[in-house]
Amino acid sequence: MEAKVLKLDKAGTPQEWIAFHAAATAIAKGSVLWELGDVARTMFGGVQKSGEQSRIELPAIIAVQGKVAHRSVPKISNELLFSRDGHMCMYCGQSFGAKMLSRDHIKPTSKGGPDTWENCVTSCLRCNHFKADRTPEEAGLELIAVPFAPNMHEYLFLDNRNVLIDQMDYLKTQFKHVMIS
């Protein structure tokens, strides 16, 4: 996966990962208010009459004009859930590849449990099958970590594991739950 530019709103709140060409367009249109980090990529354009080739240096982080967006964390997905839990079963503690993992609802949906970050954990197929349609307590299982909903900083880290150093330094200032090793 290729690195991307971290796009912020004008208040400095992370919004999304954007491709380098989208960042170049924002800079060319003059909609970038400020930028942070080292040059992440240099893009080259055409050659002018003087023989000089045009170029634009793209920073790792840009803040763009517009409304301050109060984005909530997107809905849960298996890919992000497995990333949040480090591809580890929250019951037996073993690590697995994505094909051997599933989403487990702590309070089963059949018993009114919601499909939310706080009610879902990563489970290996064996533990999920054993737990079946029961709560962990009913199945005699214990969770090894408390499930949480990531904030936008944590979500963007979980969503893109190809994070540049400058981007990581910016994002981790607001980490409340995610541990970086």
Q: Mean pLDDT, consecutive 10-residue segments, the chain of 181 residues?
A: 89 94 95 95 89 92 89 87 96 97 97 97 98 97 95 91 92 81 55
The domain total for the chain is 2
Q: Is residue 9 part of a domain?
A: yes
> Quick check: is 146 in a domain?
no
pLDDT of residue 14: 93
Q: What integer pLDDT is reported at residue 136 of this predicted model? A: 97
Strands 101-105 and 120-124: antiparallel
Residue 144 lies in a domain: no
CATH of residue 105? 1.10.30.50
Amino acid residing at 134: R
Q: Are 35 and 89 a contacting pair, CB within 8 Å?
A: no
Q: Answer yes or no: is 179 within a domain.
A: no
Q: What is the pLDDT of residue 179?
A: 64
Question: pLDDT at position 180, please?
Answer: 63
What is the domain range of residue 106?
78-139
